A = this chain, B = another copy of it.
Amino acid sequence: MFKNKSVTMKDVAHDAGVSVMTVSRALQKDTSIREETRLKIDLSVKKLGYVMNKMAGGLSSKRSDFVALLVPSLNNSHLATSVRVITDKCREQGLQVLLGLTDYSMEREEELVRAMLSRRPEAFILTVDGHSEATIKLLKASQIPVIEMWELPANPIHHVVGFSNYAAMGELIAVMKQKGAKNIAYIGESHYVNTRGGERRRAYLDHVSPHIIVDNSTPPITFEDGARAFREIMTRYPETDCVMCVSDPPAFGALMEAQRMGINVPERVRITGFGDFEISRASTPSITTVAVNPQDIGRETGIILTEAIKAARLGLTYPAQRIDLTPEILLRNTA
């Protein structure tokens, strides 16, 4: 095959009878170019089908217009929503998102950070689920602003947008106890060290006893995991009168299993979720949960992102933000 040379600014400049620099200026906003010249250039651009090469532009200007965004999974509608809101904000600002899926693995996260660093993103957005030492070191050394979301870590890298998963779960537990729950079981995930789910589990460990825990599901935990765990709990610990889940999906699975087992919810057993996923609203009965708002997290993250990048481009550092989006308990029909 014949590799046809791509059209460059030089070609456009030649065609329009101006210098490359003039073309470069005409293609950016807020630059002073004579209207006539700009028109000529626009014409040549269309005629030749010219498309800017941002690799070259970025190399020269030292602005990549990239934002690195790392989430553990997309098969979690809340994270998917955060990604959508952030991506949208980036698009408005002419930024391009570099998406990375860590699959709930710190090693994978580190690998991704390393790879993304080579694209010189102007900001990093991480989901809190534990970071390796190397990741933190790498990020700090890079001088690139970092925003962590979905939790409020004790020692954030820079900015954080989230809430205390530990505290929120603690509140929900208190409400269940107040409602008369005596034997409370917990359905969680297998990754509970330094993770958000782990913080909820920790609240259970601290506030409930004795402990009845089923946490052998690989995240993201599914409906089916919840159903299976529920059956196990009710079979082995029939005295259980309240099953608290790490999130809404397993709570829904548990609820469906309860229906299949002929167990009355909430009369015989209460079930709680976490997150206010759509499923918790839509199911019959609707599920008692914690009203986390992914849109808010995305929006706040987007705002910090914008400011941090703006500052960085001026050679400044945007002061570390800590946005607390403490969620409320949402009492519905399963508890």
Contacts and interface: CB of A to CB of B under 8 A. Distances in A.
Interface residues of A, number: 61
A329 interface: no
B52 A118 contact: yes
A141 B49 contact: yes
Contacts of A91: 112, 115
Contacts of A260: 284
A112 B97 CA distance: 12
A321 to B, nearest CB: 18
A96 B84 contact: no
A186 interface: no
B64 A88 contact: no
Interface string A67-107: 00000011101001101100110010010111111000000
B75 A80 contact: yes
B64 A74 contact: no
Contact of A97 (B2, B4, B64, B99): B99
Interface of A: 1-4, 49, 51-56, 58-59, 64, 73-75, 77, 80-81, 83-84, 87-88, 91, 94, 96-101, 112, 114-120, 141-143, 222-224, 227, 252-253, 256, 259-260, 278-279, 281-284, 315-317
Top-3 shortest CB links A-B: A223-B282, A74-B80, A54-B118
